[in-house]
A and B are shown apart, each in its own frame.
Chain A
Amino acid sequence: MAATNVEVWQRGEVVGVSDVAEKIKKFVIRQSNPAKAQAGSHIDLMVTINGEKVRRSYSVVKQSEDLRDLEIAVFEVRNSRGGSIAMHNLSVGDELDITQPIQNFPLRFGAKRYVLLAGGIGVTAIVEMARQLLQHGADYKFFYVARSKKAMAFADELKSVHGDNLVIHIDDEDNRLEVGEVMKHVDKTTELYMCGPIRLMDEVRRTFASTDLDVTNLRYETFGASGWFEPEVFTVRVPERGVEVSVGKNQTIVEALEASGLDVMADCRKGECGLCEARIIDLNGKIDHRDVFYSAHQKSDNEKIACCVSRLVADNGTASIDLALS
């Protein structure tokens, strides 16, 4: 069915936890009000970080036949926004608020050929797509890349299911993926679905845009969680409102400003819509643009920043930025 993205909250009970790769845990969550998860859908859930409830999104890897149980997989990032650590502390029997599956990344049937590209934990958004394409006898190639073999979730299972349709690349085995190799499998009738780290997705997007391919055939999803640099602590000032805050490694600018009591405009919180835009008055350091709202040249201009996902990195000392908000 076509995309549905109505948010319906329900209770979820953790009924299974298992390690599926280095720092990656799989959780089976039982829905109190079961709804169907289409390929590409995700759930939002509320995790508690330092006593505060924070919302996070995770792709649905698999659903049980009776629709009750959803599988998600979470990569623990020590210096990320903190949600993954809280998730890894969950155990069987724990309950949390979850949405019914939300679809913002629908797989369209009927294309002549498909290329799927998963990077690291991004595989969670792609597994079900691949399964459905296989089931429907579609012509597809599934590229799966990771830093190391140990860090690959579901690799053995995917190999046995997809056989030669699956192509695995592992960075630390001198087997790094060249985007050009992926593009060899892409022609005008191909739809490319990808989910992975920002470096990979950005390169594919730029490569795609430099060809005469139809850019709407490149489908991707980003939760704004991945950046060009490791997260670090930096300072944000909003002179108009007399605010100065320190943004922690596990926080976004929007979250830090909200925590200081400021009323900040933001909506998607994954770097897509542009509502959280701020104008840059002064900058000390580099911006790690993590959004997909600004174009490449807008990002290099450094006049505006998407505060819901983008961060700062220091040239030396602590980076800081002065912003004007809407």
Chain B
Amino acid sequence: MPATNLGSTTTTKITNFPLNAWYVAAWDHEVTRTPLARRICDRPLALYRTEDGQPVALADACWHRLAPLSLGKVVGRDGIQCPYHGIVYNSAGRCVSMPAQETINPSATVPSFPAVSRYRFIWVWLGDPALANPDLIPDMHQMDHPDWAGDGKTIHAECNYQLIVDNLMDLTHEEFVHGSSIGQAELSEADFITTHGENTVTVTRWMRNIDPPPFWKKNLADKFPDYTGKVDRWQIIHFEAPSTVCIDVGVAKAGTGAPEGDRSQGVNGYVMNSMTPETDRTAHYFWSFQRNYRLESQLITTQLREGVTRVFGEDEVMLRAQQEAIDANPDYEFYNLNIDAGGMWVRRLLEKALLAEGRLNTRPEAGWPAE
């Protein structure tokens, strides 16, 4: 495909998704010996595990009559049987059994996509399989490292995945969307620093000597029950392409050296987020809240998970409303503010990735490229 650049997409309202990338398809516990149907990057997948636990991602349509394999059952060591006429495929997507004939048609295959289990998630790669190096999976090590504990959920977000990335790259919205939990005026008042690399964007914001908002007041009290004073609060947003955002968040007793690196007098969490396009206007939003204190407390794990569920529920409502407004106003464009620097660098990186795939100007609505 000729790589002609017809213009910038950095303010595109419906962002296309790179295919040469790992995306979270599911939580590890969701993928079992009972096939799971899930649409990833506009492609329906059947997800299951082999007998020895390896995750498998096949196109969810039998070669024969396109019946969904996810309605079938696993058979043998690594196979799945179509529920309609009983054709069996192995984990490579190759037919191993055909009804009513003694041979197997050599053309009978379904696409099999690379799938890897890491950081409590199952990751899939829908692009060029020759490039599917597991080392390219975004770093989410706080998900299963023994120094961290926590849990999360999946939001079925009714918006383009990039709107969620925008949301996480600029947290000034907390003051207005999450006023009762984590929002406070100091967020907009504090200065922030944006940096970027080949594949990453970082936004750092420190708020010194402030009153902690309710969510952080509670968390600090879990570790320091007697402390009631001011805090230094931080938000360090780490984006890794195409759509993973891990946010280093916390508060420490004011003036105890947290900005300089000593966080011993504070509490630290990591908000883990990975957004996977489902269609151009819906996304699977996988998140977890991990912490590195009071690891023994399941109560705190549950409280944090449910607390963040409520906070993210507020985002969900806003994102759906935003997508509806975008669709209802096709003749209006996005404009940018200074606070969008993080999100704009993300868009610049996505633009480069899409250009490299020759898909910069293919609208996601047009479906899959003919390659």
Beta-carbon nearest neighbor of B109 in chain A: A3
Binary interface encoding of chain A residues 267-281 relative to chain B, with 1 for a CB under 8 A from any of its CBs, else 0: 010001110000000
Q: How far is the CB of B126 from chain A (nearest CB, A)?
A: 8
B1, CB-defined interface residue at 8 Å: yes
Q: Is the CB of B92 within 8 A of A216?
A: yes
B235, CB-defined interface residue at 8 Å: no
Total chain A interface residues with beta-carbon distance under 8 A: 38
Interface stretch among A105-113, A168-176, A241-249, A316-324?
A105-113
Q: Is the CB of A216 within 8 A of B113?
A: no
Q: How far is the CB of B347 from chain A (nearest CB, A)?
A: 25
Q: Which residues of A contact B92 (CB under 8 A)?
A: 108, 216
Q: Which residues of A contact B93 (CB under 8 A)?
A: 2-3
Q: Which residues of B contact A220 (CB under 8 A)?
A: 106
Q: Is the CB of B103 within 8 A of A67?
A: no
A window 11-40: CB within 8 A of B? 34-36, 38
Beta-carbon nearest neighbor of B129 in chain A: A109
Binary interface encoding of chain B residues 97-136 relative to chain A, with 1 for a CB under 8 A from any of its CBs, else 0: 0000111111101111110000000000011111010000
Q: Which residues of A contact B129 (CB under 8 A)?
A: 1-2, 108-110
The complex places the Cα of A8 from the Cα of B102 at a distance, in Å, of 32
B366, CB-defined interface residue at 8 Å: no
Q: How far is the CB of A201 from chain B (nearest CB, A)?
A: 10
Q: Is the CB of B106 within 8 A of A219?
A: yes
Beta-carbon nearest neighbor of A294 in chain B: B103
Q: Given A216-B92, A294-B102, does the pair A104, B107 have CB atoms closer than 8 Å?
A: yes
- Of the residues A1, A8, A104, A216, contact of B96 by C-beta under 8 Å: A216
Binary interface encoding of chain B residues 332-371 relative to chain A, with 1 for a CB under 8 A from any of its CBs, else 0: 0000000000000000000000000000000000000011
A window 213-258: CB within 8 A of B? 215-216, 219-222
- Of the residues A4, A110, A136, contact of B370 by C-beta under 8 Å: A4
Q: Is the CB of B102 within 8 A of A216?
A: no
B2, CB-defined interface residue at 8 Å: yes
- Of the residues A4, A219, A298, contact of B102 by C-beta under 8 Å: A298
Q: Is the CB of B101 within 8 A of A274?
A: yes
Q: Is the CB of B114 within 8 A of A1?
A: no
Q: How far is the CB of A266 from chain B (nearest CB, A)?
A: 14
A310, CB-defined interface residue at 8 Å: no
Q: Which residues of A contact B62 (CB under 8 A)?
A: none
Beta-carbon nearest neighbor of B20 in chain A: A1
Q: How far is the CB of B270 from chain A (nearest CB, A)?
A: 32
Q: Is the CB of B103 within 8 A of A295?
A: yes
Q: Given A1-B127, A216-B96, does the pair A108, B370 have CB atoms closer than 8 Å?
A: no
Q: Is the CB of A268 within 8 A of B107?
A: yes
Binary interface encoding of chain A residues 101-135 relative to chain B, with 1 for a CB under 8 A from any of its CBs, else 0: 00011101110000000000000000000001000
Q: How far is the CB of B128 from chain A (nearest CB, A)?
A: 6
Q: How far is the CB of A128 from chain B (nearest CB, A)?
A: 12
- Of the residues A136, A216, A273, contact of B105 by C-beta under 8 Å: A273
Beta-carbon nearest neighbor of A33 in chain B: B370
Q: Given A220-B106, A295-B102, does the pair A3, B90 have CB atoms closer than 8 Å?
A: no
Q: How far is the CB of B113 from chain A (nearest CB, A)?
A: 6
Q: Is the CB of B130 within 8 A of A132?
A: yes
B157, CB-defined interface residue at 8 Å: no
Q: Is the CB of A67 within 8 A of B130?
A: no
B275, CB-defined interface residue at 8 Å: no
Q: How far is the CB of A317 from chain B (nearest CB, A)?
A: 33
Q: Which residues of A contact B196 (CB under 8 A)?
A: none
- Of the residues B104, B112, B126, contact of A108 by C-beta under 8 Å: B112
B window 4-58: CB within 8 A of A? 19
Q: Which residues of A contact B126 (CB under 8 A)?
A: 1
Q: Is the CB of B103 within 8 A of A136?
A: no
Q: How far is the CB of A80 from chain B (nearest CB, A)?
A: 22
Q: How far is the CB of B109 from chain A (nearest CB, A)?
A: 6
The complex places the Cα of A41 from the Cα of B102 at a distance, in Å, of 26
B94, CB-defined interface residue at 8 Å: yes
- Of the residues A2, A35, A100, A221, contact of B106 by C-beta under 8 Å: A221
B59, CB-defined interface residue at 8 Å: yes
The complex places the Cα of A132 from the Cα of B129 at a distance, in Å, of 12
Q: Which residues of B contact A106 (CB under 8 A)?
A: 109
Q: How far is the CB of B171 from chain A (nearest CB, A)?
A: 37
The complex places the Cα of A215 from the Cα of B128 at a distance, in Å, of 25
Q: Is the CB of A293 within 8 A of B127?
A: no
The complex places the Cα of A204 from the Cα of B15 at a distance, in Å, of 49
The complex places the Cα of A4 from the Cα of B371 at a distance, in Å, of 7
Beta-carbon nearest neighbor of B128 in chain A: A1
Q: Is the CB of A34 within 8 A of B103?
A: no
Beta-carbon nearest neighbor of A132 in chain B: B130
Q: Given A108-B92, A216-B92, A295-B103, does the pair A2, B113 have CB atoms closer than 8 Å?
A: yes
- Of the residues B101, B127, B130, contact of A136 by C-beta under 8 Å: B130
Q: Is the CB of A216 within 8 A of B90?
A: yes
Which of A3, A4, A35, A273 neighbours the largest number of chain B CB atoms within 10 Å of its CB? A3
Q: Which residues of B contact A4 (CB under 8 A)?
A: 111, 370-371
The complex places the Cα of A104 from the Cα of B106 at a distance, in Å, of 8
- Of the residues B90, B102, B107, B371, contact of A35 by C-beta under 8 Å: B371
Beta-carbon nearest neighbor of B108 in chain A: A272
Q: Is the CB of A272 within 8 A of B90?
A: no
User: Can you spell out 9 A-B residue pairs with CB atoms less than 8 angstroms apart?
Assistant: A1-B126, A1-B371, A2-B111, A3-B93, A3-B111, A4-B111, A6-B370, A34-B1, A216-B90
20 additional contacts, CB 8 Å, given A292-B103, A293-B101? A1-B111, A1-B126, A2-B112, A2-B113, A3-B93, A3-B110, A35-B370, A36-B1, A38-B371, A67-B1, A106-B109, A108-B112, A109-B130, A110-B114, A132-B130, A219-B106, A268-B107, A272-B105, A272-B106, A292-B106
Chain B interface residues (CB < 8 Å from chain A): 1-2, 19, 59, 90, 92-96, 101-107, 109-114, 126-130, 132, 370-371
